[in-house]
Amino acid sequence: MKQDDVPKLLDVEAAAQLIGEKIVRTPLLTSVALDALCQGQVLIKAETLQRTGSFKIRGALNRIMQMSPTEKQNGVVAWSSGNHAQGVAAAAAMYGVSATIVMPSDAPSLKIENTRALGAEVVLYDRATQDREVIAGDIARQRHLVVIPSYDDPQVIAGQGTIGLEIVAQANEMGLTVDDVVVPTSGGGMIAGIALAMHGAFPQARIYAAEPEGYDDHGRSLAQQRRVKNASKANALCDALLAPMPGELTWQINKSHLSGGYALSDEDVCRAMAFAFRHLKLVVEPGGAVALAAILNGRHMTKNRTTVVVLSGGNVDAHTFQQCLGKAASAAV
């Protein structure tokens, strides 16, 4: 990997200029109930309200808008369990680009249906026995398509980093200095982009990864100062956060910008989803709620600090959402 491949703050700022009019400037919300519970100022970055219901369209747009006319004519291919799939499909449709998405057969049906509804061709695979990157690579070679990785791509990382620039601007508008940011993390593209943006304005800010138990590769990699893999390949509640290990490119940023990571249980996640529904009036998918879970269960200390929590997505089917709310209610009894 060349050092020039690693995106910088200038790349994030360029992405903001390029895609700014195509995306939603999602709100930075406050909650009296959350502040009282956490004994600090907690700000919620609601990417659940982004186009397609997650942050992923930011990186997809930044990548597709910079493709050549020939590349756009040929089309794109990506792999995803759902949110990147929808982001790429939506971004491609905006520019008349054909999109093929490789998705696990056990992905939530809502995400598969939404991806098809956006005009993409969906190719299903078995997560346990097949390699999605190999499948997508074969399709790309056969059809001469541009591959859009879900996280390990400079333009994708820069696009996701526009979340951080918005947080900086919104915090400044509120007259606040951000102490900590907690971000749902899988391959590491979003947290890498956010870290670049946040440390450009608030160099003292601590950035933390929130991951599901069994898929806490960033937390363990930071502890060992090298990339480590997850052992599990089983389906999990947080379907959006099942990358096998930190990305090669994202790790170049995250190893020096992140302060640590938290591993959250399914019970923690369900309680966070229920809290967001009750107090924030937001529907959050399991993977999108892990950062809030780290705040609510006390893993991340918020007392007398200003902490930003990213809710990264809200694409959850009704059955899973109902089950999670039921588990949270049972645990509270």
Same domain, 173 and 127: no
Are the CB atoms for 54 and 287 separated by under 8 Å?
A: no
Give how far the C-alpha of residue 188 lies from the chain's centroid of Cα atoms, to the nearest Å.
8
Contacts of 194 (CB under 8 A, 6+ apart): 160, 161, 163, 164, 167, 181, 183, 207, 310
Same domain, 39 and 100: no
Same domain, 200 and 244: yes
- Choosing from 94, 122, 149, the residue where a domain stops is 149
Instruction: Tokens for 279, please give them.
Output: 């107090």
Same domain, 266 and 321: yes
Are the CB atoms for 180 and 305 separated by under 8 Å?
A: yes
CA distance 35 to 43: 9
Average pLDDT, the chain: 95
CA distance 196 to 22: 22
Number of domains in the chain: 2
Same domain, 292 and 308: yes
pLDDT above 90 covers a percentage of the chain that reads: 90
pLDDT at 2 over 90: no
Quick: pLDDT tens for 224-257.
999 999 986 666 899 999 899 999 999 999 999 9
Same domain, 255 and 324: yes
Q: 193-217 burial string, b = 16+ CB within 10 Å, else e?
A: bbbbbbbbbbeebbbbbbbbbbbbb
Quick: pLDDT tens for 261-298.
999 999 999 999 999 999 999 999 999 999 999 999 99
Q: Is 50 helix (H, G, I), strand (E, B) or coil?
A: coil
Same domain, 192 and 114: no
Q: What would the mean pLDDT of 68-75 be, rounded to a whole number? A: 97
For residue 333, the model assigns a pLDDT of 45
Within 10 angstroms of residue 318's Cβ, the number of other Cβ atoms is 9
Phi/psi at 323 (5° precision): -60, -45
In which domain, by residue range, is 102 found? 57-149
Quick: pLDDT tens for 34-53.
999 999 999 999 999 999 99
- List the beta bridge partners of residue 313: 54
Q: What would the mean pLDDT of 180-185 be, rounded to a whole number? A: 98
Same domain, 298 and 166: yes
Which is it for the CA torsion 72, 78, 82, 84, positive or negative?
A: negative
- Choosing from 117, 149, 181, the residue where a domain stops is 149
Same domain, 297 and 232: yes
SS3 for 89-123, per residue?
A: HHHHHHCCCCEEEEEECCCCHHHHHHHHHCCCEEE
Quick: pLDDT tens for 104-131.
998 888 899 999 999 999 999 998 899 9
Same domain, 266 and 118: no
- Choosing from 117, 132, 149, the residue where a domain stops is 149
Same domain, 169 and 32: yes
Please report which residue ranges of the chain form alpha helices under DSSP H: 9-19, 32-38, 57-64, 69-74, 83-94, 109-117, 132-143, 154-160, 162-173, 189-201, 217-224, 248-257, 266-275, 290-296, 318-332
Strands 121-125 and 99-104, bridge-based pairing = parallel
Quick: pLDDT tens for 205-228.
999 999 999 999 999 999 999 999
For residue 81, the model assigns a pLDDT of 83
Q: Which of 128-137, 176-185, 305-314 has the lowest mean pLDDT?
A: 128-137
Helix 266-275 to helix 318-332 angle, to the nearest 10 degrees?
100
Same domain, 166 and 311: yes
CA distance 220 to 262: 9
- Residue with structure tokens 């526009």? 162
Domain with 102 in it: what CATH number?
3.40.50.1100
